[in-house]
Amino acid sequence: MKKIEGVESVKVSLNEGRAWIRLKLGNSIRLEQIRKAVNQQGFTPKEARIKAVGDLTATDGRLQFQVSGSNEVFPVVETSHESWRKHAAQELLVTGIIAAPATDKEPGTIQIVEVSKPNATPK
Out of 3-7, 62-66, 76-80, 105-109, which region has the weakest mean confidence (pLDDT)?
76-80
Among 2.30.110.10, 2.10.260.10, 3.40.50.2000, 2.40.50.500, name the CATH number for the domain at 7-116: 2.40.50.500
Residue 52 pLDDT greater than 90, yes or no: yes
Residue 119 pLDDT greater than 80, yes or no: no
CA dist 8 to 32, 53, 86, Å?
17, 17, 33
Q: Which residues contact 87 (CB under 8 A, 6 or more apart)?
A: 56, 115
Q: Rounded CA gap, 92 and 79, in Å? A: 18
Q: What is the pLDDT of residue 34?
A: 92
Average pLDDT for 74-102: 85
